[in-house]
Amino acid sequence: MIEKQNRVWKIVIYIFLILIAFITLLPLVWMLSASLKLETQVFSVPIKWIPDNAQWSNYVKIWQKIPLALFTFNSIKLTIIITFIQLITSSFAAYGFSKCQFRGRNTLFTCYIITIAIPWQVYMLPQYIIMNKMHLVDTHLSIILLQSFTAFGVFLLRQFYMSIPDELLEAARIDGLSEYGIYARIVLPLSKPALATLTIFSFVGVWNDFMGPMIYFNSTSVKTIQLGIRMFISQYSAEYNLIMAASVIALIPVFVIYVAFQRFFIQGIATSGLKG
């Protein structure tokens, strides 16, 4: 009887999860469908999920109407650089906050983590003034400097590092290994799941960033793909079929990164909160 009830509950849970997955994926399916339609067909009612005459030419037009190749290159460049720097700065800081003993460590860590709760709109204007005084507005360096440090990344990696036994590090110190050696040879190899998780979060966050580039970038030569998609919206109309086609293109790198790191992703999420 109990076995039968468990089977029924499993079926109910699976049905619920399938329903949630369907609802989650529905907007993506609509986006793909709209990218293959004429502009006049995008918002037709009832929705025609499979177009009678798929407009594959939409995927050609988006490269011709705007410099999408340049925007894509700029996005890839910024995302790779910022993600790499975030991994370095976050892992260094997390190691210091978790495995190095110094006065005021926990207080400093708490103050740093509190910054997560401060809305970006609060310090958006001071940041812009600083970048303007440094003559970095309308350059990629402004975004790179502003996004090179992430309190969330430090928190995520610190929680993972706390699960690494201190005895392992003490044995390495006794053998004469320096803190940098311990960090590079022991901690980093053991923290692949957490680093992969942070890579996904950082990559998606930087790649999808719209407000930052919109504020700091004015020239076409430095704009990102998110700003490029907005160029399909004019004062009086919007080419939604081309917007959806460009959005599909913009989604591909995120999908590739997730597939590449997904085997570490769940393990990293599960183990980053084992010990606080």
pLDDT tens-digit series, residues 17-67 = 999 999 999 999 999 999 999 888 888 888 888 888 888 999 999 999 999
102: number of CA atoms within 13 Å, CB side?
A: 10
Flag whether pLDDT at 122 surpasses 50: yes
Environment class of residue 186 by beta-carbon count within 10 Å: exposed (0-12), middle (13-18) or buried (19+)?
Answer: middle
- DSSP annotation of 49: S
DSSP string, 83-113: HHHHHHHHHHHHHHHHH---TTHHHHHHHHH
The label of the residue with tokens 């999408």 reads: 68
pLDDT per residue as tens digits for the range 154-192: 998 998 888 888 888 888 888 888 888 888 888 888 888
pTM of the model as a whole: 0.86
**pLDDT of 215 higher than 90:** yes
More confident residue, 261 or 132: 132
CA 29 to chain centroid, in Å, comes to 21
According to the model, what pLDDT value does residue 10 have?
A: 86
How much is the pLDDT for 176? 85
Q: Name the 3-class secondary structure at 35.
A: coil
Q: Which domains does the chain have, with CATH numbers?
A: 58-271 (1.10.3720.10)
The answer to whether 157 and 91 have CB atoms below 8 angstroms apart is yes
- Six-digit token pair at 44? 């037709």
Which own/partner contact pairs does 61-70 have at CB distance under 8 Å and 24+ positions apart?
A: 61/242, 61/245, 62/232, 62/242, 62/245, 62/246, 62/249, 65/231, 65/232, 65/242, 66/228, 66/231, 66/232, 67/220, 67/228, 68/225, 68/228, 68/246, 68/249, 70/220, 70/221, 70/223
What integer pLDDT is reported at residue 276 of this predicted model? 43
For 78-102, the pLDDT digits (tens) are 999 999 999 999 999 999 998 888 8
pLDDT category at 2 given cuts 50, 70, 90 is low
Reply yes or no on whether the pLDDT at 1 is more than 70.
no
Q: Cα–Cα distance between 211 and 227 in angstroms, integer?
A: 9
Asked if residues 248 and 32 have their Cβ atoms less than 8 Å apart, the reply is yes
φ, ψ for residue 233 (rounded to 5)?
Answer: -100, 115
Tokens representing 212 are: 């930052």
pLDDT value at position 39? 87
Mean pLDDT, range 261-273, rounded to an integer: 60
Angle formed at CA 205 by CA 30 and CA 263, multiple of 5 degrees: 80
